[in-house]
Amino acid sequence: MERRFYPNENAEYREARDALTEAEDALRAQVETVAALRRALPLGGEVKEDYVFEERGCGGGVEKVRLGELFERGQNSLLLYGFMFGPKMERACPLCTSFLDSLNGAVPHISQRMSVAVCARSGIDRIAEFGASRGWTNLRLVSSANNTYQYDYLAEDKDQAQWPMANIFVRRDGKIHHYWGSELLFRPYPTGNTRHIDFMWPLWNVLDLTPEGRGSDWYPALEYEDAAS
């Protein structure tokens, strides 16, 4: 490919940028290596039960829905994200909320290949109200208030603390199996943000393009002050 330059760049910049391109190329290859390992996972355990969740129906009433019914017609993979919004929490987790803001926009594309749902331990009315306030028109929101899903699949601990756990389930021969979970969450990392779902979250990847980076102590918030005020 023809060598490309930017206006007025100097030799020092080009040397550093070429070195960075080599590192980015190696990272791209490593990302695919990890993705291939993920795709090659054997089936995990069959689910403990066909959990019963609650969701808001089209008419506004509360409906029961089983885990198996979260798989959309003809699809055999399901992402079920454990949203940190338990009944004892005054407010929803800002980081989960930021991630779900992004996921909501991507669902029309993702849903062409797989199913997506979000569950939290709060009652469905509280979850639905919060989702509406965020404009989550594409996310299927369910409540696990009356089952043990969150605890069984590592989105809740024995003290009922909530964890932001993403899980993939697959359907094979009429049975549902666990396939993958974002267990990197539980591996020690120097900063408070464990980066366990960064690869699914545009926010951090875009900020990492800048000289300032993502910052060591900045986190997304539920609301921001009007920049004009």
The model's pLDDT over 39-94, given as tens digits with 9 standing for 90+, comes to 999 999 999 999 999 999 888 899 999 999 999 999 999 999 999 999 999 999 99
- Write out the two tokens for 162: 């909530």
The answer for residues whose C-beta is within 8 angstroms of residue 21's C-beta and 6 or more apart is none
At residue 216 the predicted structure's pLDDT band, cuts being 50, 70 and 90, is: confident
Q: Are strands 141-143 and 175-181 parallel, antiparallel or unpaired?
A: unpaired
At residue 228 the predicted structure's pLDDT band, cuts being 50, 70 and 90, is: very low
| Host H or E run for residue 125 | helix 124-134
End-to-end distance of the chain based on CA atoms, in angstroms? 49
* Integer angstrom CA distances of residue 80 from 75, 77, 91: 14, 10, 21
- Write out the two tokens for 35: 């993705």
* Integer angstrom CA distances of residue 37 from 154, 169, 180, 182, 183: 22, 17, 11, 14, 15
pLDDT at 35: 96
To the nearest 10°, report the CA torsion of 208, 164, 200, 141.
-130
pTM for this prediction: 0.92
**Per-residue pLDDT tens over the stretch 138-177:** 999 999 999 999 999 999 999 999 999 999 999 999 999 9
**Size (the chain), residues:** 229
CATH topology assigned to domain 52-184: Glutaredoxin (3.40.30)
Residue 229 has pLDDT above 90, yes or no: no
